[in-house]
């Protein structure tokens, strides 16, 4: 068992409080986004697609919806069609993930997110051991128990917020366990630190984690950190050099997944017919999950940087140009899907790009799929047993530009 540094030991019963405090920081951040959270950008994206697949823009215009004149205007190309997005994501030779050095890299340090080629493949080969389908399936019993117990606890209180009380803790607990953090760890504190929502002015969190990483033998061999710390490949760092990786895994293993789970719960609870369809035919569960991801993928953009002059759908891009790849827009491309704005579990199944594609396809896609299946199964069970009456759902619906999800799903039983 990994010895938890005293500063990060939540003590008996302290983990749930720590998770609640972390979610409060996330919720406050979403509120601070103000206008960026309001409204639905899909009509804007559709208008761009009608004009063309690739557009000159700025990061500020992409991220806010308005190109406000200021000294901080960062030129970028906005890629909005399915075909163009897929082309960019598949070609790491021309479209490099090194673009993240100026964004995520400044927050967490250099991680495999901004690597390409041999370096990136080396990291993924090691990490794959903890994220392939069979390895993730070993987490099923634990995740199922977590989902069921949280839904039962919510019912026992007469209701609650499904985002705060279920989606967020389920996603964070799952990735923390795979990373190797033992029960009792302040994983909420670690997550808030990882994404930059919690200031570590005195360096206590960074120091504690760095010292923890200095003892490879205490990390379970099957865990992510156990695998990385025991790896002798020179491209993989050791000890404190893995701090950026810890932060990245906590961030990407929690943020998009919990938002995707929240959207899934919103979709199926807003339309009782969906749950009844899955109850009658379990095979429809996969269609519900995939359509939910296509309809509202949790992460709108990924970034790339051109490594050479190139042409993309008639646009001439130059070496060094930033490229904003709009996954949300690509997944509603009307040339690929009929009535793409409609949530339709009966549509012909086609691959979507919510998880990306190519060399940087989401490493945790099998874990995310397992979490979604267990959430859906938990809701089916809850609506038949612990929620004997039809629950009342109070929500503002789905919002956001960079991240898309319901901020709250308040259930009253």
Pairing state of beta strands 410-412 and 392-394?
antiparallel
pLDDT at 47: 96
Do residues 164 and 153 touch, judged by C-beta distance below 8 A? no
* Residue 412 CA, distance from chain mean position: 27
Tokens 């026992």 found at: 156
Do residues 245 and 227 touch, judged by C-beta distance below 8 A? no
Q: For the chain, which ranges sit under pLDDT 50?
A: 1
H/E stretch holding 270 = helix 255-270
pLDDT at 68: 64
Q: Give all domains of the chain, ordered by start, each with its CATH number.
A: 6-45+110-299+362-412 (1.10.630.10)
Task: Kindly state the DSSP code that residue 166 receives in the 8-state scheme.
Answer: I
**Model pTM?**
0.95
Helix (H, G, I), strand (E, B) or coil at 324: strand
């Amino acid at each position: 068992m990994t010895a938890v540094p005293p500063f990060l030991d939540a003590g008996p019963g302290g983990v749930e409080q720590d998770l609640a405090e972390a979610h409060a920081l996330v919720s406050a951040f979403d509120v601070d986004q103000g206008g960026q959270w309001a409204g639905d950008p899909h009509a804007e994206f559709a208008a761009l697609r009608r004009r063309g697949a690739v557009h000159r823009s700025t990061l500020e215009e992409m991220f806010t919806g308005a190109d406000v004149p200021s000294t901080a205007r960062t030129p970028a190309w906005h890629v909005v069609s399915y075909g163009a997005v897929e082309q960019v994501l598949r070609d790491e030779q021309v479209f490099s993930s090194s673009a993240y050095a100026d964004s995520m890299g400044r927050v967490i340090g250099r991680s495999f997110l901004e690597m390409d080629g041999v370096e990136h493949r080396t990291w993924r080969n090691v990490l794959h051991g903890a994220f392939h389908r069979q390895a993730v399936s070993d987490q099923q019993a634990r995740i199922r128990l977590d989902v069921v117990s949280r839904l039962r606890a919510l019912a026992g209180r007469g209701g609650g917020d499904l985002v705060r009380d279920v989606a967020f803790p389920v996603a964070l607990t799952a990735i923390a366990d795979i990373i190797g953090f033992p029960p009792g760890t302040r994983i909420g504190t670690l997550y808030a630190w990882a994404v930059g929502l919690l200031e570590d002015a005195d360096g206590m969190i960074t120091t504690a984690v760095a010292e923890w990483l200095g003892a490879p033998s205490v990390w379970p061999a099957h865990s992510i950190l156990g695998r990385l710390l025991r790896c002798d490949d020179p491209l993989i760092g050791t000890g404190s050099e893995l701090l950026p990786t810890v932060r990245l895994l906590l961030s990407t293993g929690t943020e998009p997944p919990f938002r995707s789970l929240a959207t899934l719960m919103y979709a199926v609870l807003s339309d009782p017919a969906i749950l009844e369809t899955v109850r009658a035919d379990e095979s429809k569960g996969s269609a519900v999950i995939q359509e939910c991801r296509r309809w509202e993928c949790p992460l709108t953009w990924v970034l790339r940087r051109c490594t050479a002059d190139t042409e993309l759908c008639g646009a001439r891009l130059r070496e060094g140009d930033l490229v904003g790849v709009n996954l949300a827009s690509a997944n509603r491309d009307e040339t690929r899907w009929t009535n793409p704005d409609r949530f339709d579990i009966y549509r012909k199944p086609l691959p979507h790009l919510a998880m990306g594609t190519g060399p940087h396809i989401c490493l945790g896609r099998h874990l995310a799929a397992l979490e979604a299946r267990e959430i859906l199964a938990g809701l089916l069970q809850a609506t038949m047993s612990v929620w004997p009456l039809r629950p009342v759902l109070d929500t503002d619906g789905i919002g956001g530009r960079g991240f898309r999800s319901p901020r709250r799903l308040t259930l009253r039983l």
